[in-house]
Structure 1
Amino acid sequence: MQAQLETLSQLERRLDIAIPAADIETAVDARLKRVARTAKIQGFRPGKAPMKMVAANYGLQVREEVLGEQVQTAFAKAVQEQKLRVAGYPRFEGKPAEGESFSFSATFEVYPEIVLGDLSGKEIERPVLAVTDAEVEKTIEILRKQRTKFERVERAAEKGDRVIVDFKGTIDGVAFQGGSSDNYAFQAGEGQMLPEFDNAVLGMKEGESKTFDLAFPEDYQGKDVAGKTAQFAVTVKNVAAAKLPEVDADFAKAMGIEDGDVSKLQAEIRKNVEREVKRRLTARAKEAVMSALLDVTPIEVPKALVGAEIGRLVEQAREEMKQRGFDPQNMPLPPELFEEQAKRRVSLGLILAEVVRANGLEAKPEQVKAIVTEFAESYEHPEEVVKWYYASRDRLEGPESLALEDNVVEFVFAKAKTVEKQLAFDELMGQQQAA
């Protein structure tokens, strides 16, 4: 076998390979003899047909199979000899055997050589937040709001009250789509409606009606009415005051504390908040580290790997659409929408692999066990969850990946200029907690 390597671009290569025709013929003859042992040809008992008949019936198929195997074997051998790391699948181009050899070419990409950039001058923010009694109380208040009950009142609507209204909107005397509704419920003054609508309803009592003008913002989601002024007629049908549950034994029992001990509830909530805060701090720190690694280590990524990653992202998006009740067939997902995300993920994967390899940052068993144990704590029978993870090697891949990423994060923070950034609880938890 003869092989010649050509560099087409920074990552693209082509191997021109010639396989001796004698090797191919020898392999074809050997394969035909094996086929002849069981070949079923009309007029002959199995295995008794002449070789010429076997070759006439099976020769073409056997030759194609042998050529395919020879090409794969020769390519693998040439790659090994040239010490190449092939990324993705090669594109083979060949021609019929001529003279003493069969020639073909394989065009493919190789993995880039990665040299980690200098982190010593890179400043990275590490978010920090200590959970105090205030965060626990704020979380309890959110849980109370989630269990709000409303009681009808005869007074005028106030901020936080639930109001039920009939309304009809018109623009230049003409009703518009989405501008009318009966028995529509919302909490007044809580930003669920446009400010003009909220302000008009606040102070109204059950049975009262009012007409008012409302100017839709220029960037309003309803393009047909954006930037226009409508006139609304509204009638209040019900006003109900919000009543939050007391933090007592009944509340604690409703939250899963069997004996109703409020102190146990507070302790459980603190544990849950601390776990969630830790998870979010870790996610933010990880994102800062990944961005830093990308900044200091620019690389060109193989198109084949990016294409494969785009395929995974598209399929993932389709599955998410199905879970939300949408038909992906009605919503095309152009691959270019995912190209930048795919490039970033492939780049990070290659960089992380090199950081781990070069610095011995593989996940240790005790780290994996700690992560599994932490996962299990949120379940009623944590010991069963731990057993489930360790019952299958595949189930530990997730925890191992997290441990490996944690090692990379700590390594990068140790190398870079780390600046601690104190976060507010609402900032870290987002709108879900700040509501």
Structure 2
Amino acid sequence: MQVTETQNEGLKRGYQITLTADELEQKVQAKLKEAQPDIEMKGFRKGKVPMALLKKQFGPRIMGEAMQESIDGAVTSHLEETGHRPAMQPQMAMSNEDWKEGDDVVVDVSYETLPEIEEIDFSDIEIERLVVKADEASVNEALESLAKNAQSFETKKGKAADGDQVVIDFVGKKDGEAFEGGSAEDYPLTLGSNSFIPGFEEQLVGVKAGDEKSLDITFPEQYQAEHLAGQAVVFDVTVKEVKKPVDAEIDDELAKKFGADDLDALKAQITERLEAEYKGASRSVAKRSLLDALDQRVNFDLPQSLVDAEANQIAHQLWHEDNPDHHGHDHGEIETTEEHVKLAERRVKLGLFLAEIGQKNEIQVSDAEMTQAVMTQARQYPGQERQFFEYVQQNPQMRQQIQAPIFEDKVVDMIFDKSKVTEKEVSKEELQEAVEKLDDE
């Protein structure tokens, strides 16, 4: 087998691999001979089918397998010998498309190599980490929010306002006949909760205990019950009681409702949670500063294939964000702009750099870290956690998607340790402003 270089320009490499007809024939004969002992055919004992008959029967399929295995093996050996790391899967195409049995097989192979990336001195990178302490006002604000969530309702006189609760009996009717699932008694409905069909709660604002009212309602076109979707109905409603919301007292009893021993323990939990949130936001700001610094210091040739793929993905994602009602992929071609390409170049450069630095420093994602990450994502699918675990186990691409950000964060943490990081105490408003700037850039 002969390998001839056809292109060597920048990161682009091209080779022509020639598999002679004799080499291919030897490979086919070897595979047929290997399979012969297990083959049965009418008129012959098992393992005694003549080679000529085997070749006639299985030759075309065996030849295709032999051809593919030979070319794949040649490419693998070539990559091992040269040390090249293709940026993407090598492109392969037969140059003699009119090939017939007895001809040499000539295949053109092309790819872009990953560039050589040198580690830089991280000690001269200066990063400012914002620090926010959970002050008393923030803790009290969180307590008030918890008290509101734990609110109860007490009977009131007069008309129901938005936010009040009405206790009602109702019967839904279509064409004068009650329909299944449209009736209830002593139902507590909080006005403004949007838990009922659009238009239902709004028509009850201003009712009083003892009122009877008919509500004209049209079900949404996308309603889950198909026989009611888009249909006009009437709900006969009897108001039995009107209640006003009463926030819970901020005391030890409230603390116990949220799993704390007493109010002081709840305050400590809130302080810890708030500072963890602040720390996470601060890390995002510091990470962006670090990536900006690396972007300025790191420079190497980028595989154009990776840049093009990333730019297309960015353009596609942004298009769907601008067209949220279009969920499918049956749209026209989405063109990439200079802005998409510039962002893609940054992402590819930093991604390759962090991957290389992580590999050189032998950074790995442990099984425990991976399991924890999968468990965190599985919680997004209540009742289907086991199926999610099985899906991840069977899907290498999904595992890579989960592993990649963990690996990147571990590399970033390593660089933080080697950089000059100073802390600056700021208010939560200043931290929030810094976080918002991340979204604007």
Q: TM-score with structure 1 length normalisation?
A: 0.59
2:35 aligns with: 35
Secondary structure of residue in 2 paired with 1:328: coil
Flag the 1:329–1:363 CA change in 2: closer, same or farther, 3 A: closer
1:253 aligns with: 256
Residues 145-191 of structure 1, C-alpha deviations (whole Å, 9 max, x = no match): 44456775879x9xxx8599xxxxxxxxxxxxxxxxxx99669xxxx
CA distance in 1, matches of 2:28, 2:403: 49
CA distance in 2, matches of 1:106, 1:299: 24
State whether structure 2 residue 30 is matched by structure 1 residue 57: no
| 1:385-396 matches, cutoff 5 A | none
Secondary structure of residue in 2 paired with 1:87: coil
Contact 2:363–2:410 (8 Å) recurs in 1: no
- Deviation of the 1:293 alpha carbon: 1.8
- Deviation of the 1:248 alpha carbon: 1.1
| 1:26-425 matches, cutoff 5 A | 26-94=26-94, 95=96, 96=99, 101-116=104-119, 124-148=127-151, 162=163, 243-257=246-260, 261-305=262-306, 328-329=327-328, 344-358=346-360, 360=361, 362=363, 402=406, 405-406=409-410, 408-409=412-413, 411-412=415-416, 414-415=418-419, 418=421, 420-425=423-428
Contact 1:15–1:106 (8 Å) recurs in 2: yes
Contact 2:126–2:419 (8 Å) recurs in 1: no
- Deviation of the 1:315 alpha carbon: 11
- Deviation of the 1:73 alpha carbon: 0.8
CA distance in 2, matches of 1:398, 1:271: 27
Residues 330-389 of structure 1, C-alpha deviations (whole Å, 9 max, x = no match): 88597768966765544333111222345x373698xx89x97xx99xx9xxxxxxxxxx
Return the letter of the residue paired with 1:354: E
Flag the 1:154–1:121 CA change in 2: closer, same or farther, 3 A: farther
Identity %: 27
Contact 1:18–1:104 (8 Å) recurs in 2: yes
Contact 1:148–1:245 (8 Å) recurs in 2: yes
Secondary structure of residue in 2 paired with 1:141: helix
Return the letter of the residue paired with 2:134: V
1:384 aligns with: none
Contact 1:125–1:421 (8 Å) recurs in 2: yes
Residues 203-241 of structure 1, C-alpha deviations (whole Å, 9 max, x = no match): xx979xxxxxxxxxxxxxxxxxxxxxxxxxxxxxxx997
Residues 70-96 of structure 1, C-alpha deviations (whole Å, 9 max, x = no match): 101111112222221122211112234
CA distance in 2, matches of 1:411, 1:253: 43
- What RMSD over aligned residues (CA atoms) do the two structures have, in Å? 5.1
Residues 277-332 of structure 1, C-alpha deviations (whole Å, 9 max, x = no match): 22222232223222322232244543554677689999999xx9xxx9x8833885
CA distance in 2, matches of 1:337, 1:271: 44
Contact 1:28–1:63 (8 Å) recurs in 2: yes
Return the letter of the residue paired with 2:352: L
Return the letter of the residue paired with 2:350: L
Contact 2:315–2:335 (8 Å) recurs in 1: no
Contact 2:132–2:275 (8 Å) recurs in 1: no
Flag the 1:337–1:271 CA change in 2: closer, same or farther, 3 A: farther
Contact 2:93–2:108 (8 Å) recurs in 1: yes
Secondary structure of residue in 1 paired with 2:49: coil
Flag the 1:266–1:304 CA change in 2: closer, same or farther, 3 A: same
Flag the 1:333–1:129 CA change in 2: closer, same or farther, 3 A: farther
1:168 aligns with: none
Secondary structure of residue in 2 paired with 1:104: strand
Contact 1:15–1:105 (8 Å) recurs in 2: yes
* Consecutive unaligned residues in structure 1, runs of 5 or more: 165-182, 188-204, 208-238, 380-391, 431-435
1:194 aligns with: none
1:230 aligns with: none
Return the letter of the residue paired with 2:273: N
Return the letter of the residue paired with 2:58: Y
